[in-house]
Amino acid sequence: MSERPHPDPPTTAGNFAEATARIEQARKDNATALLLYGLGLTELPESITQLSQLQGLYLDNNQLTTLPESISQLSQLQGLYLNGNQLTTLPESISQLTRLQRLDVDNNQLTTLPESISQLSQLQRLYLTGNQLTTLPESISQLAQLQGLYLDANQLTTLPESLRNLEQLERLYLHGNSALGLPAEVLGPTWEEYQATPAKPAGILEYYFRTRGERRPLNEAKLILVGRGEVGKTSLVNRLVHRKFRVEKKTEGIKITEWTLKVGRKKEEVRLNVWDFGGQEIMHATHQFFLTERSLYLLVLNGRAGGEDEDADYWLKLIQSFGGESPVIIVLNKIKDHPFDVNRSALERKYPFIRGFVKTDCKANLGIAELHRLVLDETDALEHLRDAFPAAWFSIKDRLAGMKENYLSFKQYQNECAKLGEADEKAQELLAGYLNSLGIALNYREDPRLRDTHVLNPHWLTGGIYKILNADKLQLQRGEICLGDLGGILDKKKYPAEMYPFILELMKKFELCFSLPDEESRYLVPELLDKQEPTAAREFNPEECLNFEYHYPVLPEGWLPRFIVRTHVLSDHTPRWRTGVVLKLEDNLALVRADVQDRKIFVNIKGPVASRRRLLSIIRENFDHMHADIPKLQPAEIVPLPGQPGEHVTYDELLAWEQDRTRKFKKVVAGSVVELDVQEL
C-alpha cells in the first residue's frame, strides 16, 4: 500500500458557514473525525476547539495561511492533514498535540519549522514535501518515534547532524533539494515509487556528512548503446573511442569500455563507461537491470530490415521506462548501404528527451565527427555529472574498476577499502551500493539467497549469464539446465565450479530461471521453453471465465517468462510455454498468455466462481511487483465484456462502482445502452 494513502480531495464550493455547520454536527455526534477539506477556508471557526474527542482533522486543499494557537486544545488528535494550503508557519502551540502520530503539511509555503515540533513525542510520519524550507531545527532529533520524514522539493541547503539520532527512521526523502548535492543513487526511489525499496536513511546521511569534508566532482557517467542485433553498435564504439573500424563478431552480453573525454569550455576530464548491449532478443530480458537513469543513451537503428519507426518507438519506450528523462541521441547507422530516415518531428514530440539525430556509416567514417560532438555536448550537460564524491573513495573506485580479478568476496572488498584508507564498515557498505548503481562493481549483499556476497566485474557476470542463455545444450533441453551442465558451457578458468551456484542464484534473482521441484540443482529458463501453445490453452472459454487483460504501451522482451518464474509454484504440474502458462490454485485454473505483437497479456480464470478472485489477486500482485520495477510502464488494466468482442471497462471503473455499492451500471456498447453487473464482471 502507498505510504501516501490520503489522496488530494476534490475541491468543492464551500464557506465558513458550511464548516461551522459540520463542526456543530460533529460535536453532537461526538465524532472522532472531521472532514473540512476543499472548502476554500481562509481561517478556522473557533468552535472547532469544542471537539475534545477529535482524532483526525482533514483540512486539505483550503486557503489557510495560519492555524490558531487554540488548535492545541484538540488534545486527542492523532492525524492532522493540512496538505495544499498556504501556511508559512506552524504555531508553537502545536507542540501540545502530544498524541499526534501523523502531520501532513505537504505543498504549503513553510520556510521554517518551530523548535517546539520536537515535543511531538508520538509522531511517526511527518510530510513536508513541496515547501520552502532551507534548514531544519536541531531539535528534530527528539522525534524518537519518527519512521517517515518527507522533505522532497524544498530548498534545503544543510542538514542538522542530529538527524542521525532518529533510530526509528525507515524512510527519508530528500529528492529535489539540489543544494544538498545528494546523487540519485544515494537518494534511491522517490516516495511515488511506493513499491520500490526505499534507500536507507542511515546511508543517505552517512554519504551527506562524509561529503561535507574533502570532496571532488565525480565526473563520471554511463553511455549506453541500445538497439537490435547487428545494427552496428560495436562498430560505433570502435569509431568513437578507438578511432578505427574493424568488423566485429556479434556482442554476447555487455561490453563495457572506458572512454576519457574533455568536455566544456574548461576541457574538464570526464570518464564515460560505455555499455554496448548485445541485441539478441533473449538478451533484452536482462537489459532492465542495467538501463539506468543519469545516463546518456545512443539508440542505434539501421534500415536493412525496415520497420525503423516501430523499432525506434519500441526502444524509446523502454528507455523512458528504465532511464527516466535521460537524454537520447538517435543514430541512423549503416546509412551508405541502406539509406533511410525516421519521422523525426513525431518522435521528438512524443519523446522530448531526444537530443538529436545523426546519420552515420562506420566503414565510410560518415557522421562520426558530428556524433562525437553531440556526445561531448550532452555529456557536459548531464545533470549529476559533477556530483560530489568523497576524495578518499576515488582510489577505491579506481582500484575496483581496474582490478584483474572478476570477483571478490565482500570480506576481500572490505580489506581493499581498509588498505586504501576507508576502514569504516558503514562507509564501505555505502560505497559498495553506490558503485553498484554506477555499474562499476556489482554486489548483491542484501539478498538473503546470496550467502557469500561478492563484488563483481559486470562484464564477467553478464558474459557468463549470456553464455548460459545462448548455449546449444540449453536450447536442446528446452530451457532445463543442471548445475553440472555449466562446466561444458563456461570457461573453467574464468568461471570456476565453486561459482556455479552463485551465478545460478543471480539468474534466479534476475527472474531468469527457477529451481525445479524436488531437485534444487535443476533449473528451468522459461525464455527457452517451447514456443508452441498447448491444446490445454484452448479449453478456456472466455464466456465461462473471469477475464482480465493488461494493455501495454510497450511489452518488454521476456515479460511473460519473468512472470512464469515468479509464479512457478502454481504451475508445477500444469503446462508452460514461452508466451504462456496455466496456473492452479485450489480448484481454479488460470490461463495467462501474452500477445507480443499486440502488446497485451490475457488472463482467463475458470473454476468455482467464489474463489476466482483470489487467484486473480495473486496474478495481479505478481504483475504489480514487475510493474514497480519499471515505474513508467503503466499498462491499462482492462476487463473485457462477455459476448462483446473488443468492448471492455477499466478495472478502476469496476472498483469504483463496487466501492460505491452499485450492483449494476449502464454503458454504451456498439451504439446501444446495456446494463452491466459489477459482480459478474
Tens digits of residue pLDDT in 293-315 = 668 999 999 887 777 888 898 88
Whole-number Å distance between alpha carbons of 311 and 299:
10
**213 or 327, which is more confident:** 327
Q: How much is the pLDDT for 627?
A: 85
Q: What is the signed CA dihedral for 176, 379, 390, 458, rounded to 10 degrees?
A: 100
Closest CA to 361 of 329, 328, 330, 337: 337
pLDDT tens profile 236-255: 999 999 999 887 766 666 78
Q: How much is the pLDDT for 605?
A: 95
CA pseudo-torsion sign 479, 484, 490, 495: positive
Q: How much is the pLDDT for 680?
A: 67
Q: Is the pLDDT of residue 400 over 70?
A: yes
Assign 3-state DSSP to the chain and report helix, strand, coil percentages, each to 5. Answer: 35, 20, 45
- In this structure, the strands spanning 328-333 and 295-302 are parallel
Closest CA to 603 of 549, 536, 652: 549
Q: How much is the pLDDT for 479?
A: 86
Q: How much is the pLDDT for 364?
A: 93
Band (pLDDT 50/70/90 cuts) for residue 352 is very high
Mean pLDDT value of segment 258-275: 90
pLDDT tens profile 84-111: 999 999 999 999 999 999 999 999 999 9
Q: Is the pLDDT of residue 23 over 60?
A: yes
pLDDT tens profile 449-497: 776 777 788 878 888 888 888 888 888 888 888 888 999 999 999 999 9
Amino acid in position 341: D
Residue 402 burial class via C-beta count within 10 angstroms: exposed 0-12, middle 13-18, buried 19 and up: exposed
Query: Over the chain, what is the mean pLDDT?
Result: 86
Q: Which of 287-301, 494-508, 632-646 is modeled with the greatest confidence?
A: 494-508
β-strand partners of 592: 581, 603
Band (pLDDT 50/70/90 cuts) for residue 279 is low
Mean pLDDT value of segment 99-124: 94
Q: How much is the pLDDT for 281?
A: 53
Rounded to 5°, angle at Cα 602 from 599 and 604? 175
Closest CA to 318 of 277, 357, 356: 277
Question: Cell for 549?
Answer: 487483460
pLDDT tens profile 189-225: 888 876 678 989 998 998 898 888 777 888 888 898 9
**39 or 6, which is more confident:** 39
Whole-number Å distance between alpha carbons of 176 and 154:
7
611 in Cβ contact with 588 (< 8 Å): yes
Band (pLDDT 50/70/90 cuts) for residue 347 is very high
Q: Which of 54-63, 451-460, 653-662 is modeled with the greatest confidence?
A: 54-63
